[in-house]
Amino acid sequence: MDRSKERASEGSIAPGTPGSEPTAPDSRPAAPDAEPGASGSDFLQLDVGDAPPGGLADWLTRRLREAIADGRLPVGSRLPPTRLLAGELRLSRGVVIEAYRRLTEDGHAAGRGRHGTFVVAAPAVPGAPSGRAPATARPARPARPDGLFTTPGADAFDALRSAPARIDLSPGLPDLAAFPRTAWLGAERAVLGSLTASAFGYGDPRGTPELRLALVRWLARTRGIVADPDEVIVVGGVAQAMGLVAQVLVGAGIGEVAVEDPGSLGARQHFRYWGAATPPVPVDAEGVRVDALRATGARAVLLTPAHQFPTGVVLGGSRRRALMDWVADGGLIVEDDYDAEHRYDRPPVAALRSMLSDGVCYMGSVSKLFAPALRVGWLLAPARYREALVDAKRFTDLGNAALPQLVLARLLETGEMERHLRQSRRRHRRRRDVMVEAIGARLPGAVVHGAAAGLHLTVTFDGGPDDAAVAAAALERGVKVQPLSWHSIRQRRPGLVLGYAALPASDIAEGVATVAEVIRELS
Amino acid sequence: MDRSKERASEGSIAPGTPGSEPTAPDSRPAAPDAEPGASGSDFLQLDVGDAPPGGLADWLTRRLREAIADGRLPVGSRLPPTRLLAGELRLSRGVVIEAYRRLTEDGHAAGRGRHGTFVVAAPAVPGAPSGRAPATARPARPARPDGLFTTPGADAFDALRSAPARIDLSPGLPDLAAFPRTAWLGAERAVLGSLTASAFGYGDPRGTPELRLALVRWLARTRGIVADPDEVIVVGGVAQAMGLVAQVLVGAGIGEVAVEDPGSLGARQHFRYWGAATPPVPVDAEGVRVDALRATGARAVLLTPAHQFPTGVVLGGSRRRALMDWVADGGLIVEDDYDAEHRYDRPPVAALRSMLSDGVCYMGSVSKLFAPALRVGWLLAPARYREALVDAKRFTDLGNAALPQLVLARLLETGEMERHLRQSRRRHRRRRDVMVEAIGARLPGAVVHGAAAGLHLTVTFDGGPDDAAVAAAALERGVKVQPLSWHSIRQRRPGLVLGYAALPASDIAEGVATVAEVIRELS
């Protein structure tokens, strides 16, 4: 909508005229014709019907004072233009001007020329609720509640994220400074320019056809997956995909989803929240141990085959074959195609979904491609679970928002995604090299794992100090890291999971130096 | 990101060089240094290591043919620029040019000048999986499955939405053609221009501080609600708010949420999906009957006080007082502040939440203010449920996407929301008048309910035909309506729920005429 047009039309707001009478005597709700009409925006829900005759300016002043005192009109808010408020309330403009003048005189409000009249102070008003400080948004949580690193709770990631730190080496973030703002805005402009009105209505809970089509093309090109757009459910990130899958599996009587050990604490928390038990299966240098998986008796397993979290192991060929047998015996793989797009020193590896369409719930997201804040991912499931998953998505949120889906579809179809990924990869690789080098220089006894791909690496220091203590001490010195113990169940080995993709080289070097210092002091 | 810069830099892509060696012998995952590096985007996951020596062009041609045949490269897709693919694969550009030439010669591909080389046909390739039609997105569901109107299932709204129709009189949509595209894009440009990189990372599951602050100011100005930003959880629309509340209440041992009768079928479906029973409470001309609510024994009730769905009744003063007593006795109100912003012929009514902060879970959304496709709403809950609700939101999707939240915060803070609402109200009122008039002219025996506010009205025709039959017959003639029976539990009265806000006057008049015709024929 054109701003200048809107401005021009503001002057022509006419007081509302009541609508046509309804057609029958018992249609009471439509009838209160005696009430004043209004075409305003319910500012303070003012109703001139409340005002005593002849005392309109008194009444309006009192109402505004009350709203200032009880916090509905906090300091800093702008009062509506006098002409507009007068029009809405069907008062003469003089009444509103007089009320604003009185508020200004007693110090509640102040005029700022053509910018309008603003609330500047909130003294208590007799008879009104006690004054409130203006509302401000506070940070999410107290930083570093006790036990954050030793016994992480449901809000562990939120607590760590909101803890203040100079350098954030948490894993899982791409180079956020490189988010393609101009390309995004350009794509959004194109989308908004061509969209039909109905696209702003409710949509298919599985997502827009445009994005589902662009995604299957993308997955075919880059992950070897051949699928139909109708198989895709667009979701709010891999976290949501896990929640939907957990709900549906538990509902289908599959109450256990085995997980990799070590493996993502966050993923485990998600499955458990939705009622699935998560028996651990050890990971070795070839990936998950399929013999141990069989021994758990679990009918489903969560895997990160492309770049195991947190070890970085790529699932080996013999393990892939063993998993195919396990699937043939009725097993279901939940494949989190984590970090697949970021690889540096090794050839690409196809998704398990490309070989095993009927035995895999496949999930991925743009969190590591563009940004986690977009909250867009995808889920491709075997046919037997699809209807239940669509129901779960529908009753979770009726489907993802449409505009960001259409923007992403455009970025995928125009090749912008590939372009962005190519550039990110070069930057990420350089930062990876800086981190590996810093670790070599500062922590000569430590072992680096999983640096051939991804956005993080894991460093272990056998015989060294407890990693939760290291993480806590590093945070005290302004460096945020995740202890490996967060992600370990039975396999315990002190270590840290360190993200490098989101930080400039100098921060990486400084962060590693601080961590090395802490480890030396605690050893 | 600047496009021209990206173009310029494409030429400089250097084949990747392997990263630094990890620091210890057992760091196997980081070590495969012998493998070719790559800084590409995993196009078809091509790995030159697979190629026989000296047969590179053969190999690449075969791989491309296979991908065309099995659907990974559907007809219409563009092949990567030769220089780019050569760079990624560390091949000479001549090899790629030769492979493209062969594909063009045998009719798989065709050059389109500077636009590049495109796949134009997908013949079967010996030994490859059989050819696939190019992927296309199909409509969501078969239109009008049997029983849609008589026994609506979980996908009833999706089925009705995707049914083809000339005129859509479904309720619940504002004037979508008026979505403020220019203002939205302008706000997004401002947001993208000022955002820090960390805003693209993971965020507070409750939503961005900016939007929560803007929302409490908006709710204070327009709904009489005084709240702190920390009390707000930004959600994916009222549908998600209902799901979160249902989960948390059921988890707290409150397994029944009473609902209004008639009342929204969709809302009932959401609560039931999440495990809450929904005993009905009759609605009369004053709103929900609190005596009947007490009689159900339910400890929670879902209400639409501002504009009851579907009757349009405003909850009366004595009922509000009776509800306050019920809350004092331990009852909890789930307030869906449905349509509160759209009123024409009556004074504004404060939200129940403004009087009863501790006994109300309050929810609203931008679906009726801007557009349902935005999937943004808010939830304010009593302190005792807040932590569980934040957990539920976290494990549902880790929080809403950040960009749309920041855009909305800006539209709220700049007054754009109020401006849009004022304009919409005038347009909606005119359309309401057209519909009321058309019903008076075409259906003289029918009764109109709830036309003083909202985006829809309800029309009843006592003694007339079954409303499901009317809705089915109207849909046959291209007019989409919802039968009142969808939303009725025990209180049965034939009727239709008709939205008017999203349609031009001529469609409204024609739609009503068709409905009237159908009713006459079925009577």
d(CA A212, CA A376): 12
Nearest residue to A454 via CA among A348, A308, A342: A342
Q: How many CB atoms lie within 10 A of CB B90?
A: 15
How far is the alpha carbon of B103 from chain A, nearest alpha carbon, in Å?
17
Asked if the C-beta of A449 comes within 8 angstroms of chain B's C-beta atoms, the answer is yes
pLDDT at A201 over 50: yes
Task: Specify the pLDDT at position B123.
Answer: 59
Task: Specify the pLDDT at position A228.
Answer: 94
d(CA B398, CA B442): 51
A288: pLDDT confidence band, cut at 50, 70 and 90? very high
How far is the alpha carbon of B186 from chain A, nearest alpha carbon, in Å?
10
Beta bridge partners of A380: A232, A362
Asked if the C-beta of B190 comes within 8 angstroms of chain A's C-beta atoms, the answer is no
pLDDT at B24 over 70: no
For chain B, give the mean pLDDT. Answer: 86
Task: Specify the pLDDT at position B333.
Answer: 98
pLDDT at A38 over 90: no
Residue with token string 């619940």: B172
pLDDT at A168 over 90: yes
pLDDT at B4 over 60: no
B38, amino acid identity: A
Residue B321: in which H helix or E strand, if any? helix B317-328
Contact state of B73 with A220 under an 8 Å Cβ cutoff = yes
Range B267-285 average pLDDT: 96
The DSSP output letter for B33 is T
pTM score of the predicted model:
0.84
Task: Specify the pLDDT at position A402.
Answer: 98
B331, B299 Cβ separation under 8 angstroms: yes
| 3-state class (DSSP) for residue B439 | helix
Residues B279-319 have pLDDT tens digits of 999 999 999 999 999 999 999 999 999 999 999 999 999 99
Task: Specify the pLDDT at position A123.
Answer: 59
d(CA B416, CA B424): 12
Beta-carbon-side half-sphere exposure of residue B169 (alpha carbons within 13 Å): 31
Task: Specify the pLDDT at position A43.
Answer: 84
| 3-state class (DSSP) for residue A508 | helix
| 3-state class (DSSP) for residue A457 | strand
Beta bridge partners of B497: B458, B482
Which residue does chain A place closest to B350, by CA atoms? A45
Residue with token string 């060929």: A317
More confident residue, B491 or A5: B491
d(CA A358, CA A365): 21
List b or e across A164-190, with b for residues whose CB sees 16 or more CB atoms inside 10 angstroms. ebebbbbbbbbbbebbbbebbbbbbbe
Identify each DSSP E strand in B373-515 by its residue range.
377-380, 447-449, 456-460, 479-480, 482-483, 495-499
What residues of chain A lie within 8 A of the CB of B425, using their CB? 16, 39-41
Nearest by CB to B176, from A21, A198, A311: name it. Answer: A198
A130, amino acid identity: S
How far is the alpha carbon of B193 from chain A, nearest alpha carbon, in Å?
8
What percentage of chain A carries pLDDT values higher than 70? 88
Residues A424-463 have pLDDT tens digits of 999 999 999 999 999 999 999 999 999 988 999 999 999 9
B91: pLDDT confidence band, cut at 50, 70 and 90? confident
Task: Specify the pLDDT at position B404.
Answer: 98
Range B430-450 average pLDDT: 95
pLDDT at A166 over 50: yes
Phi, psi of A482 (to 5 degrees): -105, 130
Contact state of B212 with A137 under an 8 Å Cβ cutoff = yes
Nearest by CB to B429, from A39, A43, A444: name it. Answer: A39
Query: Token digits for B323?
Result: 């509800």
CB pairs under 8 A between A and B: 512
Which residue does chain B place closest to A312, by CA atoms? B29
B176, B371 Cβ separation under 8 angstroms: yes
Residues B312-353 have pLDDT tens digits of 999 999 999 999 999 999 999 999 998 777 888 877 788 999
Residue A496: in which H helix or E strand, if any? strand A495-499
B34: pLDDT confidence band, cut at 50, 70 and 90? very low
Phi, psi of B180 (to 5 degrees): -75, 75
Query: Token digits for B423?
Result: 């304009």
d(CA B375, CA B248): 21
Work out whether the CA dihedral B237, B240, B244, B246 comes out positive or negative: positive
Which residue does chain A place closest to B194, by CA atoms? A181
Residues A223-274 have pLDDT tens digits of 989 999 999 999 999 999 999 999 999 999 999 999 999 999 999 999 999 9
d(CA A325, CA A329): 6
Nearest residue to A175 via CA among B197, B234, B346: B197
A185, B192 Cβ separation under 8 angstroms: yes
Residues A458-509 have pLDDT tens digits of 999 999 999 999 999 999 999 999 999 999 999 789 999 999 999 999 999 9
pLDDT at A41 over 70: no
Collect all residues with Cβ–Cβ distance below 8 Å to A76 and sequence separation of at least 6.
A118, A119, A134
For chain A, give the mean pLDDT. Answer: 86
What residues of chain A lie within 8 A of the CB of B13, using their CB? 422, 426
Task: Specify the pLDDT at position B114.
Answer: 79
What residues of chain B lie within 8 A of the CB of A274, using their CB? 395
Beta bridge partners of A259: A280, A302
What residues of chain B lie within 8 A of the CB of A239, using their CB? 395, 397-398
Task: Specify the pLDDT at position A364.
Answer: 96
Residue with token string 């259409």: A406
- Best mutation target among A41, A213, A431 (most B Cβ atoms within 10 Å) is A41
A348: pLDDT confidence band, cut at 50, 70 and 90? confident
Asked if the C-beta of A422 comes within 8 angstroms of chain B's C-beta atoms, the answer is yes
Residue B119: in which H helix or E strand, if any? strand B117-119
Q: How many CB atoms lie within 10 A of CB B523?
A: 11
d(CA B9, CA B14): 10
Task: Specify the pLDDT at position B8.
Answer: 35
B107: pLDDT confidence band, cut at 50, 70 and 90? confident
Rounded to the nearest 10 degrees, what angle do helices B402-413 and B209-223 cross at? Answer: 40
Residue with token string 């959600």: B235
d(CA B378, CA B400): 11
A102, A57 Cβ separation under 8 angstroms: yes
- The alpha-helical segments, DSSP class H, found in B168-264 are 181-194, 209-223, 237-251
Maximum Cα interatomic distance, chain B, rounded to a whole number of Å: 89
Nearest residue to B211 via CA among B235, B192, B194, B182: B235
Phi, psi of B118 (to 5 degrees): -120, 150
Nearest residue to A314 via CA among B90, B32, B39: B32
Rounded to the nearest 10 degrees, what angle do helices B383-397 and B237-251 cross at? Answer: 120
Task: Specify the pLDDT at position A449.
Answer: 95
A16: pLDDT confidence band, cut at 50, 70 and 90? very low
Residues A293-323 have pLDDT tens digits of 999 999 999 999 999 999 999 999 999 999 9
Query: Token digits for B297?
Result: 């024994």
Query: Token digits for B114?
Result: 């500077």
Label residue A61 left, alpha or beta by phi (over 0 means left) and psi (-120 to 50 means alpha).
Answer: alpha
Asked if the C-beta of A414 comes within 8 angstroms of chain B's C-beta atoms, the answer is no
pLDDT at A20 over 90: no
Contact state of A185 with B189 under an 8 Å Cβ cutoff = yes
d(CA A489, CA A272): 14
ipTM of this predicted structure: 0.84
d(CA A140, CA B358): 22
The interface residues of chain A toward chain B in range 199-258, judged by CB-CB distance below 8 A, are 199-206, 209-210, 212-213, 216-217, 220-230, 235-237, 239-240, 243
A343, amino acid identity: R
Q: How many CB atoms lie within 10 A of CB B317?
A: 10
B24, amino acid identity: A
Residue with token string 């790995």: B47
